[in-house]
Homo-oligomer: A and B are copies of this chain.
Amino acid sequence: MMKEQNISSSVIKRLPRYYRFLGELKKQGISRISSGELASRMKLTASQIRQDLNCFGGFGQQGYGYNVEMLYDKIADILGINIPTKAIMMGVGKLGTVVAENMDFNKLGFNLIGAFDIDPNVVGKQVASIKVSHLDELKKFCKTNKPDAAFICLPDAAVKETAQKLTELGITGFWNFSHHDIALEHPEVAVENVHFSDTLMRLSFKIKNS
């Protein structure tokens, strides 16, 4: 399905947005779109859209444009949404709970199969129809269920050690809500950071410099 070349991170970053816009077009019953029309809706250039899509294959047709539904499905494939990634939640405090219970993981290509904490007030409780286990169960759980991804909603101080443990247990992707820089120590795994405070500081900068 994919050309054998490295996709630049600039392109990867734009894929979810394409997916979102195409989903919207689909919902609106639009079946066909040209790169020019899509570009004007997304405030991009038509060139960029065609270049981006052509990293993965020639999905369009000269003189016609792109079939919305087909392109939507292709991007879902590219993003790997149709092959669920098994994931575990590490840390089920307030943030971990909100994340676990409010994301539609299935629609995003994930399957949340476990949750871990050390707080006795949290261990045993039900979150997103999963029973929270004690961290002591982690090793056994991973051997049995072989999760691929971990969602890190732990206090900063606990992340370093936990990330080390998780990579040793075969985790290959981290969705990281903490400030700890997992990628520094584990360059071999995939890391996506959700740094609330970084975005907020950038907003502060932008507001004060405009």
What residues make up the interface of A, taking CB atoms closer than 8 Å to B?
A: 2, 7, 12-13, 15-17, 19-20, 42-43, 78-81, 83, 85, 94-95, 98-99, 101-103, 105, 108-110, 148-149, 172-175, 179, 184, 190, 192-210
In the complex, A103→B173 CA distance in Å? Answer: 26
5 nearest CB pairs, A to B: A190-B206, A80-B208, A16-B198, A173-B207, A192-B203
**Given A17-B198, A98-B95, A103-B200: A78 touches B205 (CB 8 Å cut-off):** yes
Instruction: Using CB atoms, name the residue of chain B closest to A41.
Output: B184
Contact B184 A192 (CB under 8 A): no
Instruction: Using CB atoms, name the residue of chain B closest to A189.
Output: B210
Instruction: Using CB atoms, name the residue of chain B closest to A75.
Output: B201
Contact A204 B80 (CB under 8 A): yes
**Given A80-B207, A102-B94, A207-B148: A200 touches B172 (CB 8 Å cut-off):** no
Which of B7, B102, B206 interacts with A95 by CB under 8 Å?
A: B102
In the complex, A206→B172 CA distance in Å? Answer: 9
Contact A103 B197 (CB under 8 A): yes
| Chain B residues, Cβ within 8 Å of A102 | 94-95
Scoring A102, A172, A206 by chain B CB atoms within 10 A of each residue's CB, the highest score goes to: A206
Scoring A192, A205, A210 by chain B CB atoms within 10 A of each residue's CB, the highest score goes to: A205
Name the distance in Å between A34's Cβ and chain B's nearest Cβ.
19
In the complex, A68→B171 CA distance in Å? Answer: 36
Contact A99 B203 (CB under 8 A): no
In the complex, A192→B190 CA distance in Å? Answer: 23
Scoring A13, A80, A207 by chain B CB atoms within 10 A of each residue's CB, the highest score goes to: A207
Contact A109 B206 (CB under 8 A): no
Name the distance in Å between A27's Cβ and chain B's nearest Cβ.
12
Contact B199 A194 (CB under 8 A): yes
**Given A173-B207, A207-B149: A201 touches B109 (CB 8 Å cut-off):** yes
Instruction: Using CB atoms, name the residue of chain B closest to A78.
Output: B205
In the complex, A98→B101 CA distance in Å? Answer: 13
In the complex, A193→B2 CA distance in Å? Answer: 29
